[in-house]
Amino acid sequence: MAKSIFVRISSSCRLRLRSWLGWLIRREPSDRWAQTTGTGILIGSLGLICWIFYLGATLPNAGPAQDWSTASLTGLGTWQLIWVGLDVLEVAGLASTGYLLRRSHRQTRTAALLAAPLFIVDGWFDVLTASSRSDMAVSVAMLGLAELPVAIFLLLIARRAREYEMTA
């Protein structure tokens, strides 16, 4: 009995995932999937906000040696400002893409196309600034499992959002 319930739930989830991927990749019309995806992106941006607070608390204050310092102006180290600032831009890109997608707005494509490179740049800087082999492994894993997939996803959203430009 429990196995049959699991099979039904599993097949239901597969059908929903297949339907959503059909909307995202094959351009099957559905405002419901656009609103659901936009909501998911907004929730993801909230998760990234939590990550920003974690980074701000755990990153070292000192980065590469410099003659000037923003720490005297802001109370934060340059390393924290660099990484937290980049992640704040990512949140802004995700949140604006999600919000505009939920509304089927014609600027959704622009927001997604502006947000996607930020994730690639973040991954690239993570890899280049890794200070040890274990940091490098974590950076490459984050690049492959999080940042590149999000960038590709945003590019797919931008491709999908072309239809909003034509209807406006």
- Convert the pLDDT of each residue in 17-49 to its tens digit: 777 777 777 666 677 888 889 999 999 999 999
Is residue 23 included in any domain, yes or no? no
Residue 106 clears pLDDT 80, i.e. is over it: yes
Q: List CB contacts of 142: < 8 A, sequence separation 6 or more.
A: 123, 126
pLDDT for the residue numbered 6? 44
In a domain, residue 98? The reply is yes
Residue 26 or 128, more confident: 128
- Round the average pLDDT of the chain to a whole number and report it: 81
Res. 66: pLDDT tops 60: no
Burial profile 119-134: b = 16 or more Cβ within 10 angstroms, e = fewer: beebbeebbeeeeeee
Q: Is the pLDDT score of 65 beyond 90?
A: no
Q: Tell me the two tokens of residue 93.
A: 């890109």
Q: Is 9 a domain residue? A: no
Summarize the confidence of residues 4-28 as an average pLDDT: 66
The residue length of the chain stands at 168
Identity of residue 8: R
Tell whether 74 is covered by a domain. yes
pLDDT at 73: 55
**12 belongs to a structural domain:** no
Domain limits at 146? 31-167
Strand locations in the chain (E)? none
Judge contact between 59 and 73, C-beta under 8 A: no
**CA 142 to centroid of chain Cα atoms:** 12
C-alpha count within 13 angstroms, C-beta hemisphere, residue 5: 2
Query: Which range is least confidently modeled, 27-41, 43-57, 70-84, 106-120?
Result: 70-84
Of residues 76 and 30, more confidence is placed in 30
Question: For the whole prediction, is pTM greater than 0.75?
Answer: yes
In contact, 118 and 97? CB cutoff 8 Å: no
| Total of domains in the chain | 1
